[in-house]
Structure 1
Amino acid sequence: MTDEPSDLPDSSRISVTDRFYISKEDLSEDFIRASGPGGQNVNKVSTAVQLRFNLAGNETLPQDIKSRAARLAGSRLTLNGEIVLRADRYRTRERNREDALERLLELLRKSTERQKPRKATRPTLASKKRRLEAKKQRGNIKKMRGRAGRQDD
């Protein structure tokens, strides 16, 4: 899907990796007031950015990457299939806009990496013996915690 030449101009797409990109049409931003300290500036100027990426409607990413991105997004994924990121770390709109976009691209880059399947292993005989010996020692320590003068039989 992404290996074919696209009819999108370079200015309307954002590169995720060297093979994958997203369209700027899948992004929308809203500017909202930031929370926290900042004096009058916080109350007057909407510098925080709420970036929305339409993951469900995206046509440039393969389905397996979309499903991994949805899993990585967690609670930031809406029921409509949008990833919503809020950035209010900086005092200016432009810095917050760049921060939100970079965090989205980082999430998408992580979703392009496939995890290696875990190989099931069994504990060695020596590790089993060490574990049981440690349990016996711990049990003996606890057994010694009885009242003074009490006789165990």
Structure 2
Amino acid sequence: MPEDLVVTRTLVVPAAELSERFSRSSGPGGQGVNTADSRVELSFDLASSPSVPDRLKDRMFDRLGKRLVDGVLTVVASEHRAQLQNRAAARERLARILRDAAAAPPPARRATKPTRGSQERRIAEKKRRARTKQGRGRGGNWD
């Protein structure tokens, strides 16, 4: 029986809300690639999940908008030859995606005025650049 998925200290997704599908994987594996179902699709229905608080659910919907299909987030892992390793990779990837989506937004940046020194450096560089470009043109007097 798979265990619960720990996303953060306060957010734990019960194993009953996760669904796994297995299929044949392309890539490394030799002859076993045609017989072993090592590819893992791990799905989590965010829309109908009672374990995610509503305030977090809204934030996660905003951030995961393009990744969700009918409110379901699906992660695929097929980089390993063994199904067990792919299951662990998929669970880790899903936890990271949910953790990033649930993270608090960064504090708003307070705009500040540019310093006098930075303004002077900017103007000096603009003048230097203008002189460089002016020298590239035709001289004008070709007598």
TM-score bracket, normalised by the shorter chain, equals: 0.7 to 0.9
| 8 Å contact kept, 1:31–1:48 | yes
Q: Larger deviation: 36-45 or 113-122?
A: 36-45
1:86 CA displacement? 0.6
Q: 1:17 offset after TM fit, Å?
A: 2.2
RMSD: 2.4
Match of 2:89 among 99, 105, 122: 99
Matches within 5 A, 1:3-152: 13-78=4-69, 80-122=70-112, 123-147=114-138, 150-151=140-141
Q: What is the Cα deviation at residue 91 of structure 1?
A: 0.6
Aligned partner of 1:6 in structure 2 is: none
Structure 2 residue runs of 5 or longer lacking an equivalent are none
Inter-CA distance 38–12: structure 2 relative to 1 (3 Å threshold): closer
Contact persistence 2:5–2:91 (CA under 8 A): no
TM-score normalised to structure 1 length: 0.77
**Larger displacement relative to structure 2 (28-37 or 99-108):** 28-37
1:75-126 C-alpha deviation (Å, 9 max, x unpaired): 3311x10101010111111110111001111122223321222223132232
C-alpha deviation, 1:37, in angstroms:
4.4
8 Å contact 1:33–1:42 — kept in the other structure? yes
The one-letter code matched in structure 2 to 1:28 is S
TM-superposed CA distance for 1:133, in Å, is 1.9
Secondary structure of 1:75's counterpart equals: coil
CA deviation vs aligned residue, 1:36-82 (integer Å, no higher than 9, x gap): 3443332332211111111111111112322333344353311x101
- SS at the partner of 1:85? strand
On the 8 A contact 2:28/2:81 being kept in 1, the answer is no
The gaps in structure 1 that reach 5 residues or longer are 1-10
Number of matched pairs = 140
CA 1:132 to 1:32, structure 2 compared with 1: closer, same or farther past 3 Å? Answer: farther
